[in-house]
Structure 1
Amino acid sequence: MYLLRAPLRDYAWGSATLLAELQGRIPTGRPEAELWMGAHPGAPAGAVPAGTPQAGEVPLHELLAADPERLLGEASGFGRLPYLVKLLAAGRPLSIQAHPTLDQARAGFAAEEAAGVPASAPQRNYKDDNHKPEMVVALTPFAALCGFRSAADAGTSFARLAAVLAENTALAEGPGNNAGRAAPADTSAAVVAGYAERLLGASDGGGDSDAESAAIESVFCDLLDPSGNWTSGTWVAAAVAALAQAPRVLDEDLNLATAVGIAEHYPEDPGVLVSVLLHRVDLAPGQAIHLPAGNVHAYLYGLGVEVMASSDNVLRGGLTPKHVDIPELREVVAFESVPVPYCIPVSDRAGHLVFRPPFEEFQVERLDLPAAEGSTLTARGPVIAVCTAGRVRVASGADSAELSPGESVFLAADDPAATVHGLGSINNSDPATLFAVTLP
């Protein structure tokens, strides 16, 4: 068993407080976005033998490469530790994004390698040759955009926006006002009304999913068209300004209210309007969603345990200053209306929940102590376990490790079965929680 030293990623969207509050330390004052617990070469965790914690750390991917059969067991068939575990702390919205399938990732990575695109180049789409199905379990109230709404629902929201823009134009053109200043809202009102008509018309097609998908794709791509009207920011600003003057509409339409909230961080980004196409999801602590390839999504705020196949491949579609490749994104995105992909856990004993998303790389176990006191971790292949509340002791054979929130361990495939014991908090009264990730 190895103690993990998880590197902290300081992306600009990171919260300045959530990880510090979890770990019971003073905030640094800088954004703290993610703790990476895994072997991805982009930011591998350092591994230290639990029996000799004073020893120097070794990057986990180097440790695994030295003896993959013993350390990874059947997971060695993936050619790597198949999953990456993170504590994700979003203080503001992440980019709207989607991830490729395995075949798309392999082809895209090979093409960029053959073209000699440097791995660190900002225009690089594929950092590795793996796909990135993922899931997140909320530790605090957690908000996200996740998957396309029905064409009917999205069309209704765009119709409301068009009406608000039209009303805003009429008011601006009233007596004593300068009609010229209403031009952005006037023109964009007609365009937005066209989106509404397109989406609502597709939804009236007797359940024609192809027609709905085509309508969703056309609106999505029009909003993000780099040569289109939305990318200048003027139309986005006009839409947000009009909505801000229509509180009744915002009360009636969560997606439009979400767009206005996103605009506080990205005031002229067309992704503000793309969000209207997507489900707004609010997770209570303990709830989870899973995100397959092609699902367009963005986390808005909150702290969670995020697990994914070991990859850093992201195709972005707004709410970001980073590279946006619309043709490649269009190839990756699944333009279909889908229900919110909640991941509902199952329980086989007290204090023990198992989240099983439809992915072959991982499952996630949650153990709540003291109810799960003395429980044995599922150990099919390697395990990464991270404490998120209280204090926990993980024991495997002669090794043991005491974990506080944010601390984690790696258990090799050939380690003895590990048991979990709660140590409470400093006053020995608080419950404890451990998340463990292993093969399904």
Structure 2
Amino acid sequence: MKEQNKIFALEGKVQHYQWGGFTFLPALLSRSAEAGQPFAEYWLGAHIQAPAAIKGNGDLDEFINEDRSVLGQSVKHRFGRLPYLLKVLDVKDMLSIQVHPTRASAKAGFEAENAAGVPLTAGHRNYKDDNHKPELATALGPFWLLHGFRAPDSMRRILNDVPELRFLLAFFNGGDYKTLYRYVMEMEPEQVNSRLQPLLERILPLYESGKLEKSNPDFWAARAAITFNQPGQIDRGIFSVYLLNLVFMNAGDAIFQDAGILHAYLEGQNVEIMANSDNVLRGGLTPKHIDVPELMKHVRFEPVTPVILKGEPISAHEKAFITPADDFELHEIRLAEKDAYSFKVQTVDILLVMEGAVKASEAGGHSLHVDKGGSLMLTAGAVLSLESTTGALIYRATVPAAR
């Protein structure tokens, strides 16, 4: 089968995390919302936790493991597996403040937890696999996120402008990000309450009366309090809402998040590609496990200037979002009505149709029709022709050439 065909229909796996929405992904995938469960993420990849299914050929990880030549020689030699994971996210509620480890740190942490006998499914486990998790997100509409520490002047300004947070200026001391962040993360729970309660008493009435703009961190701090506070305990992640850059992206904008960059998605839908990993170390805005000492090992304590990527054209129909990651590259393909477009595949590529419909044909005659929400897996050496009678927006996940 693999030698005869190089294009296959692919079906991903839905993750029903509590922060997901109830309409966007079911509509995209033409599925009913199952028993009111939130649809948070749609995974298209070969991660062992939720591998995509190749229609008529089993799971994608099994398919690749049976014959790694489908990866192409370069990717087979460099990685030995599909090195990326493609996702669609619907962020209705805020995600946790989080950071991802480097490849070396992930390998060491994964092996240490295995040696300690920590089950892979344990709630207090930090490392689900041995890989790093750099990631790129491209917005499908208005999208808000937190991304990296503010620049020194911006940090001083916001800590001074929010009266309840002025006490933190003494810990920042002109640019000491590590002391500042360590202080808020190691603060006793009772002190978290006493410091944040006056802030929430001031901003929650403004939020509830619709007087806060989304460009104001107070908006997200108030929403975080409503979403994550537990009886008798305020979530310390609210501090990070003010310490990190608040970023807005329009549809088509993208942003890259490397190891060590604190971030959190706040609202909207995106297509996300990352290294094939699920390693997350959390710093608040979550009911999940937070390991502060482990988190502090991986945070880059430096200012970050958010860089919005617009994509670099590689043809009249296709552009690529270029990042430092060697595991993945995300391309956007746009076809107008009755357009046709052809390209050759060097490794296992995944195509996801986000708008419209396409006919995908392989050199030699094999073809598949793919509607909105549908996806394809292509193997190394495939020469693919895409035609659309409706116009289409397609995301292509691939691996960059060795650098």
Identify whether the pair has TM-score above 0.5, normalized to the shorter chain: yes
1:43 and 2:50 are equivalent in the alignment: yes
- CA distance in 1 between partners of 2:373 and 2:316 (Å): 24
Give the C-alpha shift of residue 117 in structure 1: 0.9
Partner of 1:433: 393
Who is 1:14 aligned against?
20
> Which is higher, the Rg of structure 1 or of structure 2?
1
Match of 2:9 among 3, 6, 9: 3
SS of match in other structure, 1:343? coil
Cα contact 1:354–1:365 (8 A) shared by 2: yes
Equivalent position SS for 2:372: coil
Task: Provide closer, same or farther for how the CA distance between residues 290 and 253 of structure 1 changes in structure 2, counting only shifts above 3 A.
Answer: closer
Q: Which moved more, 1:153-162 or 1:129-138?
A: 153-162
Of 273, 276, 280, the match for 2:246: 280
Aligned partner (choices 337, 362, 376) of residue 396 of structure 1: 362
What is the rounded CA distance, in whole Å, between the counterparts of 1:40 and 1:93 in structure 2? 24
Quote the residue 2:376 is aligned against.
409
The aligned residue for residue 195 of structure 1 is: 168
d(CA) in 2 for partners of 1:277 and 1:220? 9
Query: Which amino acid is 1:264 matched to?
Result: I
Q: Which residue of 1 aligns with 2:155?
A: 154
Match of 1:176 in 2: none
Question: 2:339–2:389: 8 Å Cα contact kept in structure 1?
Answer: no
- Residue 234 of structure 1 deviates from its aligned partner by 5.0
Q: What is the CA-CA distance between 1:229 and the residue it aligns to?
A: 3.7
SS in 2 for 1:375: strand
Secondary structure of 1:135 counterpart = strand
Q: Following the alignment from structure 2 to structure 1, what is the Cα–Cα distance between the partners of residues 45 and 336?
A: 27
Displacement of 1:275 after TM fit? Answer: 1.3
Cα distance in 2 for residues equivalent to 1:259 and 1:310: 31
User: 1:364, CA displacement in angstroms?
Assistant: 1.2
- For 1:342-370, what per-residue CA distance to the aligned partner results, in whole angstroms no more than 9, with x for missing partners? 22311133232211111111111111111
Q: Of 252, 255, 267, which residue of structure 1 is paired with 2:217?
A: 255
1:435 is paired with a residue whose SS is: strand
Per-residue Cα deviation, 1:52-98 (whole angstroms, up to 9, x for no partner): xxx3x411111111101234432112121010000111111011100
Within 5 Å, give how 1:11-410 maps onto structure 2.
Answer: 11-23=17-29, 26-28=32-34, 29-48=36-55, 55=56, 57-76=57-76, 77-162=78-163, 189=164, 192-199=165-172, 201-202=173-174, 212=175, 215-225=176-186, 227-231=188-192, 233=193, 235-244=195-204, 254-267=216-229, 268-370=234-336, 373-377=339-343, 379-397=345-363, 398-410=365-377
SS in 1 for 2:340: coil
Answer whether contact 2:71 2:81 (CA < 8 A) is retained.
no
Please give the per-residue CA displacement for 1:357-393, whole angstroms capped at 9, x wherever unaligned: 1111111111111179322245232101100001122
Secondary structure of the residue aligned to 1:402 is strand
Quote the offset at 1:290 in angstroms.
Answer: 0.5
- Per the alignment, residue 183 of structure 1 pairs with none
- Describe the SS at the equivalent of 2:332: strand
Structure-1 separation of matches of 2:94 and 2:338: 35
Instruction: Give 5+ residue unaligned stretches, structure 2.
Output: 1-6
- Which SS does the other structure have where 2:128 is aligned? coil
Q: Distance in 2 between matches of 1:226 and 1:370?
A: 55
Distance in 2 separating the partners of 1:346 and 1:101: 26
1:317 and 1:193 map into 2 onto residues whose CA distance is 21
CA deviation profile, 1:122-172 (whole Å, cap 9, x unmatched): 11111111000000111121111111111321222222222xxxxxxxxxx
Paired residues, what number?
A: 385
AA aligned opposite 2:12: A
Q: Once the 2 structures are TM-superposed, how far is the Cα of residue 413 of structure 1 from its aligned partner?
A: 1.1
How much has 1:17 moved relative to structure 2?
Answer: 1.5
Mean Cα displacement is larger for which, 341-350 or 367-376? 367-376
Using the TM superposition, give the Cα deviation of residue 19 of structure 1 relative to its aligned residue in structure 2, in angstroms.
Answer: 1.2
Q: Give distance in 2, aligned partners of 1:339 and 1:258.
A: 20
Per-residue CA deviation, residues 220-278 of structure 1 (Å, 9 max, x unaligned), is 222222635455x4543332212346789966972233322332312421111111111
- Identity between Structure 1 and Structure 2 (%): 34
Q: 1:381 to 1:252 in 2, by over 3 A?
A: closer
CA contact (8 A) 2:100 2:280 kept: yes
Contact 2:228–2:287 (CA under 8 A) maintained in structure 1: no
Tell me, in whole angstroms, the C-alpha distance in 1 between the residues paired with 2:242 and 2:27: 32
Query: d(CA) in 2 for partners of 1:161 and 1:46?
Result: 50
- C-alpha deviation, 1:111, in angstroms: 0.8
Q: Secondary structure at the match of 1:317?
A: strand
> For the structure 1 residues 349 and 71, does the alpha-carbon distance in structure 2 shift closer, same or farther, using more than 3 Å as the test?
closer
Moved more, 345-354 or 287-296: 345-354
* TM-score for both structures, normalised by structure 2: 0.89
Query: 2:241 corresponds to which letter in structure 1?
Result: S
User: Corresponding residue for 1:167?
Assistant: none
1:72–1:39 CA distance, 2 compared to 1 (3 A): farther
Partner of 1:224: helix, strand, or coil? Answer: helix
Would you say the 8 A contact 1:366–1:436 is kept in 2? yes
Shift of 1:302: 1.0
User: Using a 3 Å threshold, how does the CA distance of structure 1 residues 379 and 226 change in structure 2: closer, same or farther?
Assistant: farther
- The question of whether the paired residues in 2 share the 8 Å contact of 1:350 and 1:371 is answered with no
Task: Please report the RMSD computed on the Cα atoms of aligned residues, expressed in angstroms.
Answer: 2.2
